[in-house]
Amino acid sequence: MTRLTMAKALNAGLRRALEADPKVVLAGEDIGKLGGVFRVTEGLQKDFGEDRVIDSPLAESGIIGTAVGMALRGYRPVCEIQFDGFVYPAFDQIVSQVAKLRYRTRGAATVPMVIRIPFGGGIGGVEHHSESPEAYFAHTAGLKVVSCGNPVDAYWMIQQAIASDDPVVFLEPKRRYHEKADIDESATPLPLYAASVLRAGRDVTVLAYGPMVKTCLDAAAAAADEGRDLEVIDLRSLSPFDMAVVAQSAQKTGRVVVVHEAPMNLGLGAELAARISEQCFYSLEAPVLRVGGFDTPYPPSKAEDGYLPDLDRVLDMVDRSLAY
């Protein structure tokens, strides 16, 4: 067992992937000598060389476009987008090329690449540094979208994403980079697209992913002091959803609250609410409720605490669900 932060767990997972396959290459702004803004790639260029850990120009579209060509030639590029709000210059490449090439060629060409995006708020970042762009990519057919919520998942999921023949958008909750957990490198990990029941409960199902997982676990602990038993599920995969796990929990508790940082309008919570209502209608005791960011651009850092969902907002929505 090794105790690692999420950032170090990602580093260890990337290192293991680089060791296992010489076709794995990393590319991104300042990921080499600097080790990335969050030091996730620290030491990797020194150990694997500048040809495999590449300091790219300041050009997200160029990073992704070059990686597409590399993937078509048999490499497995892992691209880092330095901050979530910087992904938009590469959006055309991702949705027009990365997502479509396998379908366009009827499977003759694969694009085995990973696009790492530190996402979400909570770090006091300035504009363009605290976005939650997951719905754009989850809506795009041809992309897989996953998010780790703890160091253990970070370590295993990054390796699984790199091994996938489909392009994977890999969302990393930047405000959780420094949280620690024990990593057992001999363990058998969950499949990449499986949800995980982190806390079993009988009263309300709470669905979350990425940075909101810890918030919801804290809310469940607080609710337990009041005699309320919340079941907390880390979705882990946003496209595809593991609906079997979600539906089983919803049918058991009869009440569901979905929590994410992104604005609620047309967010992942809306899709989950629709699917749960369709599949579990006769088991529900209340409508599926959502907690999310407000439908505004992300606020200045001094106001972000009022924007981000917190323990109290989660518990308020649980109360609303139980009141039906």
Active site residues per annotation: 129
Q: Which two structure tokens, joined as six digits, stand for 221?
A: 């602990």
How does residue 241 score in pLDDT terms, banded at 50, 70 and 90? very high
For residue range 26-78, list pLDDT tens digits in order: 999 999 999 999 999 999 999 999 999 999 999 999 999 999 999 999 999 99
Residues contacting residue 266 through CB under 8 Å, at least 6 positions apart: 135
204 close to 259: Cβ distance less than 8 angstroms = no
- φ, ψ of residue 123 in degrees (nearest 5): -115, 5
For residue range 1-30, list pLDDT tens digits in order: 899 999 999 999 999 999 999 999 999 999
Average of per-residue pLDDT values in the chain: 97
**Which alpha helices (DSSP H) does the chain contain, by range?**
6-20, 44-48, 60-72, 91-93, 101-104, 134-138, 151-163, 212-224, 243-253, 268-280, 304-307, 311-323
Report, as an integer, the average pLDDT of 152-180. Answer: 98
For residue range 70-110, list pLDDT tens digits in order: 999 999 999 999 999 999 999 999 999 999 999 999 999 99
Q: Which two structure tokens, joined as six digits, stand for 80?
A: 């880092």
Q: With both helix axes pointing from N to C terminus, report the angle between 6-20 and 151-163 in degrees, rounded to the nearest 10.
A: 30
Name the pTM for this structure: 0.97
User: Residue with structure tokens 């070059």?
Assistant: 66
The CA distance from 89 to 106, in Å, is: 28
For residue range 267-319, list pLDDT tens digits in order: 999 999 999 999 999 999 999 999 999 999 999 999 999 999 999 999 999 99
pLDDT, position 126 = 82
User: Residue with structure tokens 């109290």?
Assistant: 312
Across the chain, how many H-helices and E-strands are there? 12, 14
The CA distance from 24 to 114, in Å, is: 10
79 close to 116: Cβ distance less than 8 angstroms = yes
How does residue 181 score in pLDDT terms, banded at 50, 70 and 90? very high
Q: Which two structure tokens, joined as six digits, stand for 162?
A: 């790199």
pLDDT, position 180 = 97
The CA distance from 269 to 244, in Å, is: 17
Q: How many residues does the chain have?
A: 324
- Write the burial class of residue 301 (CB in 10 Å: 0-12 exposed, 13-18 middle, 19+ buried): middle
Whole-angstrom distance between the N-terminal and C-terminal Cα of the chain? 45
Burial 235-252, CB ≥16 within 10 A → b, else e: bbbbbebbbebbbebbeb
